[in-house]
Amino acid sequence: MLCAAGALIGVTTSADGFLPFLCVLVGGWALAFGTVNALAGLGARAAWSVHGALVVAAAALLVALVPLLGSLGSTARPGGLAEPVARALGLLALAVPPACGWVLITFLGRISSVFDGAAARRAAAMPRYAWSGSDSRPEVRFTAARFSTRRLTALTVVTTLVGGLAATVVMIAAQHWLNRWPPLAVIVLLGVVIGLPLYAVVWAIVNRHPETVVVRWSTGALQIEADESWTVPFYTVRRFVWRERGEMARIEVHTDRRHETFLVGMVRQDAGAVAELPALQHRMTRALEHAGLERHERRGAVRFERAAGAISVGDAPPGRG
């Protein structure tokens, strides 16, 4: 109805106006929107088949209508048609791009949903770390690398500078060849040729010395077992960071005498487990707060920090076993 109304307004008015163009554009999209939504009533296989046929028809229609769209607004009339008919057909042709575009976009969305669903099923099937042990001494075991956020930031900056320099050299050396490519294709090419290898280098550096870490909570203290056993009374903690997810998933423990960061998010885990930490239990956060640490949460990381003027006592010396 909108397409017909737009064509009728365009034919009956002598001057070009925004209203007929708006009618045919919205009408074309609405027609495609209703057609694609109607596929929901079909079975999965039938919906795929019909949607695929619509994509083929949309592509063919776009190719066939390029000459008509090109002649719109010119003095030439396609096929020697009368001026009102040619004008009406030209306006109706404007409804084709938004309609075909919606068909193509929704088909890509259908394909993407299949991959997203498969990825979600694989992620759900992967084992995840959880707290175990007794209620009085909960613990979690994971694989981590002793890699501070400062070192990781410095490594990322250096890698970015190297990648930028390499991209500049490639752009200058292959300028005449790359000028024939669209900008998006050039960006993808540089990402594959330069970005992925550099990320692999960063990942390899972080994963050079992974180790199994056990974090155990007890009354008044935190115990960490890696290459050695380190007992940290809560009153000695200056800063404690716990981030569950992401490439920066980690645990940080800072006292007056020792600073340790165990990076989990970028480290390959045993048995194909997800590189994530379980959430802190309420009693754990309460124990840290009772020890005089203030809780702050930012960008997915939970931080417990002692006020600058507070006094802490030296932590217990590390011991074996």
Question: Phi first, then psi: what are they for 100, rounded to 5°?
Answer: -65, -35
CB 230 within 8 A of CB 318: yes
Whole-number Å distance between alpha carbons of 29 and 96: 8
Question: Phi first, then psi: what are they for 305, rounded to 5°?
Answer: -130, 140
Which of 16-25, 33-42, 118-127, 195-204 shows the lowest per-residue confidence on average (mean pLDDT)? 16-25
User: In terms of pLDDT, which residue wins out, 76 or 88?
Assistant: 88
Mean pLDDT in residue range 61-73: 62
Q: What is the mean pLDDT of the chain?
A: 80
Mean pLDDT in residue range 219-223: 88
CB 17 within 8 A of CB 24: no
User: In terms of pLDDT, which residue wins out, 248 or 94?
Assistant: 248
Query: Closest Cα partner for 222 from 292, 143, 316, 290?
Result: 316
> Which residues in 39-138 belong to E strands, given as ranges?
none
User: Over the stretch 226-266, which tens digit does the pLDDT of each residue have?
Assistant: 888 889 999 999 999 999 988 889 999 999 889 999 999 88
Continuous segment of H or E residues that includes residue 240: strand 237-243
In sign, the C-alpha dihedral spanning 3, 4, 5, 6 is: positive
Query: Closest Cα partner for 131 from 120, 118, 123, 140?
Result: 140
Whole-number Å distance between alpha carbons of 42 and 32: 16
Confidence label for 11 from pLDDT (cuts 50, 70 and 90): low
Domain ranges for the chain, please list them.
2-123, 147-206, 211-306
Give the global pTM. Answer: 0.60
Mean pLDDT in residue range 156-175: 87
